[in-house]
């Protein structure tokens, strides 16, 4: 799952990014409303955390512009302080939820997960199944048959991308895009490292390598 944080308070933005990355999300950060609109408009995010007071373009307008352009990405708005902004105004522009600063990090993560769950439910069950493997994207647990398989946050994120398209070939660049952030400049072969780890835990036959194309989570 890939998140975009649009927040001009650099320290806050970076600490949120650090925390959410540790939760297994790929997180990109921008500090300007126009840049946020541009990035979010590319359509590769699963959720946007959007501050209201931003240089370039304020969060209300960014949100309104995204909705006007037909983007339905979940948006969690950050308001500066209670009473300063009308919560209804935020929701009227098409935000899915809002949080008033200062907020606890734990609450933010819970809201992010709730929005992602709501979205998963709208599209069906949060449990993705393939070849005897069940990936619960809400509880973030994985079972093979009756056995629970314990994965790291990144391993889970890679498996989730494969499970979302079980039976299909998922390219390495797509996995990189959704699991690592845009500042990642390391070796794209990092994906192989995680696929190897997943094979050790789920069984060597669970994930096929399709040479030159990507990986396929076996769905039979």
- Kindly list the residues in this chain that would bind Ca ion in the complex (CB under 5 A): 8, 51, 53
Residues ≥6 apart with Cβ < 8 Å to 64: 93, 94
- The position carrying tokens 């609109």 is 37
Q: Considering the complex, what minimum distance in angstroms separates the CB of residue 54 from Ca ion?
A: 5
Sheet hosting strand 169-170, strand order edge to edge: 169-170, 214-217, 207-210
Q: Considering the complex, state which of residue 49 and residue 128 has its C-beta at the smaller distance from Ca ion.
A: 49
Q: Considering the complex, state which of residue 53 and residue 109 has its C-beta at the smaller distance from Ca ion.
A: 53
Q: Considering the complex, what minimum distance in angstroms separates the CB of residue 8 from Ca ion?
A: 5
C-alpha dist (Å) from residue 8 to 11, 48, 62, 169:
9, 14, 14, 38
Q: Considering the complex, state which of residue 11 and residue 211 has its C-beta at the smaller distance from Ca ion.
A: 11
Q: Which of these, 41, 63, 44, lies nearest to 52 by C-alpha position?
A: 63
Q: Which of these, 185, 192, 173, 209, lies nearest to 44 by C-alpha position?
A: 173
Q: Considering the complex, state which of residue 93 and residue 137 has its C-beta at the smaller distance from Ca ion.
A: 93
Q: Considering the complex, state which of residue 87 and residue 174 has its C-beta at the smaller distance from Ca ion.
A: 87
Q: Considering the complex, what minimum distance in angstroms separates the CB of residue 78 from Ca ion?
A: 8
Q: Considering the complex, what minimum distance in angstroms separates the CB of residue 106 from Ca ion?
A: 21
Q: Considering the complex, what minimum distance in angstroms separates the CB of residue 51 from Ca ion?
A: 4
Residue number with the smallest Cβ distance to Ca ion: 53
Q: Which of these, 211, 188, 175, 215, lies nearest to 2 by C-alpha position?
A: 175
């Amino acid at each position: 799952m890939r998140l975009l944080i649009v927040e001009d308070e650099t320290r806050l933005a970076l600490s949120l990014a650090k925390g959410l990355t540790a939760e297994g999300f790929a997180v990109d950060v921008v500090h300007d409303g126009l840049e946020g609109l541009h990035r979010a408009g590319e359509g590769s995010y699963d959720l946007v955390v959007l501050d209201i007071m931003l240089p370039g373009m304020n969060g209300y307008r960014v949100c309104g512009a995204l909705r006007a352009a037909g983007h339905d990405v979940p948006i969690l708005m950050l308001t500066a302080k209670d009473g300063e902004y009308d919560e209804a105004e935020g929701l009227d522009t098409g935000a899915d939820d809002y949080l008033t600063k200062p907020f606890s990090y734990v609450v933010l993560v819970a809201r992010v997960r709730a929005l992602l769950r709501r979205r998963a439910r709208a599209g069906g069950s949060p449990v993705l199944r393939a070849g005897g493997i069940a990936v619960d994207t809400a509880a973030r647990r994985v079972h093979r048959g009756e056995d629970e398989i314990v994965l790291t946050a990144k391993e889970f994120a890679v498996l989730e991308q494969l499970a979302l398209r079980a039976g299909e070939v998922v390219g390495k660049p797509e996995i990189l895009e959704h699991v690592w952030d845009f500042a990642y400049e390391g070796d794209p072969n990092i994906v192989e490292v995680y696929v190897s780890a997943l094979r050790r835990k789920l069984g060597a036959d669970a994930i096929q390598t399709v040479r030159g194309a990507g990986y396929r989570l076996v769905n039979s």
